[in-house]
Structure formats: C-alpha cells, structure tokens
C-alpha cells in the first residue's frame, strides 16, 4: 500500500479532541452502531472506512447530533469533545453545530449567491458586527476553501451555478466560516470527478493545520492519501482503529485485511 502514500503524516499533537465510549445507535429496530469506542486526535485527519451500510456515516452524524433530526433514531453512550459531553442536556445542538461543521456527500449550496452562502453561518450566529467584518470572514473562508481565486469576481453570482467540485469547495468554505473546531466530511468526493477530488484532498490536507477533520470515504486510496488515523467499520462494529499506515500495511483483524484487499465490500 506504500504506493498510495502521497502525504507524510505526522500527528501534530497527541491531545484527544473527540472521545466516544460505548456509543450505540438504533434506527427503530435496527441496531446500526454497536458499542463503538474511539479517540480522535486534534488537528489530524481521521478516516472512517468500511463497506456500504456499515454505520460509518451514522457514527459521523452522531458527532454533531445530526441524527437528532431523525425521529426514529436513538443514540446512547458517551461522546465528548474536549471533555464536554455533547449529549448533555445543557448542550444545545445548535451551539454544538457551530463548533462542529459538516460537509455532505452531495454538494448542497443554498440557491443564493456565493457570498450569502458563506455569510449564512456567521450571520445566524451573529459573528460579524459590520458589513466590513462580514466581507472579511467571507474572503477568509473562501480562501480556506481554496476557491477564492475562482469566485472573487462573482461573489454575487448564484452558488448553484458553479461546477460540482467548486460547489463542494464552496460548501467547505461555508462550513469553516463559523470557525468550527471539528470538520466532519461525509464522502465529500463521491459526486466529483478525479480532478475535483484531487483538489479537495489537497484542501483537506491543509485544513488539518487548523481543524480536526473526520472524513467518511468509500475509497481506500483516499483514506490512505489524506488521513493519519483510520477506523474500519463493519456491520456496525468498529473493527479496527489505528494509524493509517498500520491499518493498510499490517491489519490486525482478518475482516480488515479482507476489506482492504478487496474481498469484502
């Protein structure tokens, strides 16, 4: 798997950002996540891999409580960010989601201008006191989303008019505009062509300087390219979690080995 390596990965710090203990998720009668324990390091990229329906996206959506919006979904267990229990009664999911941004599988810009897309998060949270401050936030976010140069002349054109890859970078810019600590990405490249994918992957690598990134991906190559830590999910279980190098070169579990060598999936 060494051939897949393009990024040297050193975890910048050793502090744990997100820690999950005994997380269980039920969708009605379906037991989607079974007793998952995981510690995600700060300012690193952690990839969740596994076959379709293994629960990796479900677990990702537990981290910003997006599962709350599904009536039949029940989450138990303990998830902490910086030691705060995010399912505590005193935590408002609205506040949590300002702290934990999310990028979705399909680019989903609002049918508004590029500027308004990025400004929406800061606006609802009241992060900018003046128009000038908002302009600054928008520019900084679009630069972080590596799309500023492409859109700076048409900030008031509709965001839906951009290409797929540009839309996804706009969504990343929109997510970082509220200055979150954690960025969750749910298969952000699955709807994109290889060139757009490469641009996003490059962007993810720069994002980890500032954010803790958790990415769900179907592509093992992508996991190998962008992440420092990899978690392999299978049928709702976290089968193996460790340094990306180790998972791909020296898997300990037989199921992990089968998956990365293409026998299950």
Partner 1 sequence: MTDIPSGSGAVARTTMDKVHGSLARRHRKQLILQIFGITAISLAFLMLFILLASLITTGHKAFTQTEITLEVFIDPEEISVERLPRGNFTNVLAAAVAADLPSVDQQDRAEMRVVGGILSNGAQFQLRDRVVEEPELIGQTITISVPVSDPYDQLHKDLLDRETPENLRRLDDTQIAYYDRLVENGAIAASLNTGLLTNADSRFPELAGLKGAIMGSFWALLTCFLISFPLGIGAAIYLEEFAPKNKLSDFIEVNINNLAAVPSVVFGLLALSVFIGLFGLPRSAPFVGGLTLALMTMPTIIIATRAALKAVPPSIREAALGLGASKQQVVFGHVVPLAMPGILTGTIIGLAQALGETAPLLLIGMNAFITSAPATPFDSATALPTQIFIWADSPERGFVSRTSAAILVLLTFLIMMNAIAIYLRSKFERKW
User: From the CB of 127, what's the least distance to partner 1, in Å?
Assistant: 11
Q: Which of 23, 66, 138, 224 is the binder for partner 1 (CB under 8 A)?
A: 66
Put the strands of the sheet holding 100-103 in their side by side order. 100-103, 182-186, 212-216, 45-49, 229-234, 237-243
**Which span sits near partner 1 by CB under 8 A: 79-87, 100-108, 129-137, 188-196?**
100-108
Residue 120 CB coordination number (10 Å): 15
Number of H helices, E strands in the chain: 10, 10
**Which span sits near partner 1 by CB under 8 A: 7-15, 45-53, 121-129, 231-239?**
121-129
**Which span sits near partner 1 by CB under 8 A: 14-22, 29-37, 50-58, 167-175?**
167-175
Q: Which of 16, 160, 237, 258 is the binder for partner 1 (CB under 8 A)?
A: 160
**Which span sits near partner 1 by CB under 8 A: 22-30, 73-81, 171-179, 237-245?**
171-179
Instruction: Give the DSSP H or E segment for 121.
Output: helix 114-125
Residue 90 is a binding residue for partner 1 (CB under 8 A):
no
Residue 163 is a binding residue for partner 1 (CB under 8 A):
no
Q: For residue 73, report the phi and psi dihedrals to the nearest 5 degrees.
A: -90, 135
Q: Which two tokens stand for residue 124?
A: 């609802």
Closest CA to 174 of 265, 248, 113: 113
Residue 95 is a binding residue for partner 1 (CB under 8 A):
yes
Please answer whether residues 175 and 103 qualify as being in contact, where contact means their C-beta atoms are separated by less than 8 angstroms.
yes
Closest CB to partner 1 among residues 54, 63: 63
Q: Which of 109, 145, 165, 251 is the binder for partner 1 (CB under 8 A)?
A: 109
Rounded to a whole number of angstroms, the CA Rg of the chain reads 18
Q: Binding-site residue total for partner 1 (CB under 8 A)?
A: 26
Integer CA distances (angstroms), 203 to 48, 111, 141, 212, 223, in order: 18, 24, 12, 13, 14
How big is the CA angle at 93 (ends 31 and 233), to the nearest 5 degrees?
Answer: 35
User: From the CB of 227, what's the least distance to partner 1, in Å?
Assistant: 21
Please answer whether residues 66 and 102 qualify as being in contact, where contact means their C-beta atoms are separated by less than 8 angstroms.
yes
Q: Which of 67, 113, 166, 178 is the binder for partner 1 (CB under 8 A)?
A: 178
User: From the CB of 209, what's the least distance to partner 1, in Å?
Assistant: 22
**Which span sits near partner 1 by CB under 8 A: 14-22, 97-105, 194-202, 236-244?**
97-105
Residue 188 is a binding residue for partner 1 (CB under 8 A):
no
**CA pair distance 248, 261, nearest whole angstrom:** 9
Please answer whether residues 240 and 20 qualify as being in contact, where contact means their C-beta atoms are separated by less than 8 angstroms.
no
Q: Which of 41, 97, 144, 255 is the binder for partner 1 (CB under 8 A)?
A: 97
Q: Tokens 């179907």 map to which residue? A: 218
**Which span sits near partner 1 by CB under 8 A: 105-113, 188-196, 202-210, 226-234?**
105-113
* Residues making contact with partner 1 (CB under 8 A): 64, 66, 69, 71, 94-98, 101-102, 104, 106, 108-111, 120-121, 124-125, 160, 171, 174-175, 178
């Amino acid at each position: 798997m060494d051939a897949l390596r393009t990024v040297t990965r050193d975890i910048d710090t050793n502090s744990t950002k997100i820690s999950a203990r005994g997380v269980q998720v039920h969708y009605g009668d379906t037991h989607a996540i079974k007793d998952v324990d995981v510690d995600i390091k700060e300012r690193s990229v952690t990839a969740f891999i596994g076959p379709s329906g293994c629960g990796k996206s479900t677990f990702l959506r537990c981290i910003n409580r997006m599962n709350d919006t599904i009536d039949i979904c029940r989450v138990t267990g303990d998830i902490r960010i910086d030691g705060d229990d995010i399912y505590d009664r005193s935590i408002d999911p609205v506040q949590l989601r300002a702290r934990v941004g999310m990028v979705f599988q399909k680019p989903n810009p609002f049918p508004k201008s590029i500027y308004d897309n990025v400004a929406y998060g800061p606006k609802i949270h009241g992060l900018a006191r003046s128009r000038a401050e908002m302009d600054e936030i928008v520019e900084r976010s679009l630069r972080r989303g590596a799309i500023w140069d492409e859109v700076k002349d048409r900030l008031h054109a509709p965001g839906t008019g951009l290409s797929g890859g540009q839309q996804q970078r706009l969504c990343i810019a929109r997510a970082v505009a509220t200055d979150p600590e954690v960025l969750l990405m749910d298969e952000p490249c699955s709807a994109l062509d290889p060139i757009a994918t490469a641009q996003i992957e490059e962007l993810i690598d720069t994002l980890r300087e500032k954010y803790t990134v958790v990415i769900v991906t179907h592509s093992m190559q992508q996991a190998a390219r962008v992440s420092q830590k990899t978690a392999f999910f299978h049928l709702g279980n976290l089968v193996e979690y460790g340094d990306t190098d180790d998972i791909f070169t020296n898997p300990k579990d037989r199921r992990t080995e089968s998956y990365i060598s293409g026998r299950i999936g």
